[in-house]
Structure 1
């Protein structure tokens, strides 16, 4: 993007409820990495997932976290775009290059960085690494994961309350376990709110390399197909492809539900905003900032750090004034959120 989305949750609060911080180890033979984000004036660096900066969603949220850290800590940051058709070796080289330059922490945005992260982290034990949406074992690795199914459940509640045709749609970018969490939570939220509502689902591609997260045209076509089947609310978990979903919904005069960031507030989607009912958010920016702050404070987070409804790591936006105008919607979402937090509602992940 060439624009920054504004996050609404404070990362410091999220970090305080994450797992206890653990200092990373190091060896005296490692010459090319540093153990503090202030040495050499270099700190946080992120390597983007498919779609890169400008997706108005996942990657842009990570960039917002980087910008916050850069402004607050006053150090040099770096952010690097993916390349088309890249291999794990390409990702490994990218992460290693950032570590050699002295950036700390180094974060891979997206589960695709898993194999590369495991290999590189072992080679640079004084550098703290982070990976978003995946769990990688390593003494100097923080796995930043989210309860996407919880936010998606709330999106399902909203869809069930807003639909008039009793048909709603789900568009997943790629047919992988992570996106299955979004679909599972959404469908459960719909059905437990109104069992009469039908959910029509479609995945754009089987692999990320086929463009499932980076092809607005694919998203547009999928949404149009669901709208033809009478869906009047369409929820996407498709990254950049979701722009096409939102465009199709707006042009058809039905509701779209955004993902990851508050898409109602994004300038690139401004002409469609009136039809963006809400967005199921995950505070990727907050998690990125939290890891950067932990390194800056000399107490790097490591291990699995889970961001859920209880710590405002995920949520559902209410910024569109029309959200409150849908009968019963606001109260239903509030009740569902309370139920998930107190454990009376158990949300499926598949």
Structure 2
């Protein structure tokens, strides 16, 4: 039971970090009360009766992009570091392709890691068979759809993030045109894109506006130039607010915004 409690604590701290998928702001520097409570709990565990259980945990994460992308992967990496601060041993691999994810997961499971985070749902089909071979390792699939024994899926509310982005974009726009640039066409990005449109529609119906939204998924989380070119094309079409949801490639979208003054 103590070990399970420690695992749940680790998961809770990681999930708190996951919700902050956008670029950093001053406001985000102030951690929510739940995060501080989790860290305090972790600190108590390190000092008290849970210390041995927490310090004995081995937690790994497999990232589809770079841990310094200022976006999706970096927030998850920060969650992993929080787990380390609570006393666990951590390890990670970054820039792992979908086809290499199974080998990475198998490596960590073979090395006795208790918990392995799979940080993009495109890993799911490749890694579910690995879980069956290592029943003592818990695999946590971010934005997955499968819950089977030691393979657990947790989902980020991407449609809600997209909705808030759409509302903000529509309210900020002066030209009446806004844009959304997504990355790989996986379900979370599709949900974020749909949520963005719903947010724009909500502003239009609530405030009697007629803001138009252009939404394009580039098909890549890593192609910075393609994302930048896509954003520029939307800007040249009249959009004055651009919203990214493309992991590493979001850098290109933000560069386009800076260069075009939107």
How high is the TM-score relative to the length of structure 1?
A: 0.58
Pair 1:229-2:242 in alignment = no
Residue 145 of structure 1: how far off its partner (Å): 0.5
Flag as ranges the 4+ runs of structure 1 deviating above 4 A. 11-14
Pick from 78, 81, 84: which aligns with 1:67?
Answer: 81
1:46 — aligned with what? Answer: 61
Q: Which residue of 2 aligns with 1:127?
A: 137
Q: Which has the higher helix share?
A: 2
Where does structure 1 lack aligned partners over 5 or more consecutive residues? 15-35, 206-211, 255-350
Secondary structure of residue in 1 paired with 2:112? coil
1:244 correspondence with 2:244: no
Deviation for aligned residue 1:37: 6.0
The alignment partner of 1:95 has SS state of: helix
**Aligned residues of 2:122 and 2:186 also touching (Cα < 8 A):** no
Structure 2 partner of 1:318: none
Decide whether aligned partners of structure 1 residues 13 and 189 sit closer, same or farther in structure 2, where only a CA change above 3 A counts: farther
TM-score norm. by structure 2 comes to: 0.76
Over the aligned positions, Cα root-mean-square deviation in angstroms equals 2.1
Aligned to 1:176: 186
Other structure's SS at 2:180 match:
strand
Measured in 1, the distance between the counterparts of 2:37 and 2:198 equals: 29
Residue aligning to 1:77: 90
Any residues of structure 2 matched to 1:1-350 within 5 Å, and which? Answer: 8-9=31-32, 10-11=34-35, 38-39=55-56, 42-49=57-64, 51-73=65-87, 75-83=88-96, 87=99, 90-194=100-204, 195-205=209-219, 212-254=220-262
Greater RCO between the two (CA within 8 Å, min separation 6)?
Answer: 1
The match for 1:322 is: none
How big is each residue's C-alpha offset from its partner over 1:50-84, in whole Å with a ceiling of 9 and x where there is no partner? Answer: x23222111111110110110121x3210012345
Alpha-carbon deviation of 1:131?
Answer: 0.8
Cα shift readout 1:171-197 (whole Å, capped 9, x = no counterpart): 111223221101111111111102500
Q: CA deviation at 1:12?
A: 8.0
Contact 2:141-2:153 within 8 A present in 1 as well: yes
| Counterpart Cα distance in 1 of 2:79 and 2:182 | 25
User: C-alpha separation between the residues in 2 aligned to 1:200 and 1:7?
Assistant: 33
Instruction: Tell me: CA distance 1:168–1:219, structure 2 relative to 1, closer, same or farther (3 Å).
Output: same
Aligned residues: 216
Alpha-carbon spacing, 1:227–1:91, altered in 2? closer, same or farther (3 Å) = same
What secondary structure does 2:155 align onto?
Answer: strand
8 Å Cα contact 1:47-1:94 kept in structure 2: yes
Give per-residue Cα distances to partners, 1:22-61, cap 9 Å, x unaligned: xxxxxxxxxxxxxx7644xx51100111x23222111111
Does the 8 Å CA contact 1:52/1:59 hold for their aligned counterparts?
yes
CA distance, structure 1, for counterparts of residue 77 and residue 187 of structure 2: 24
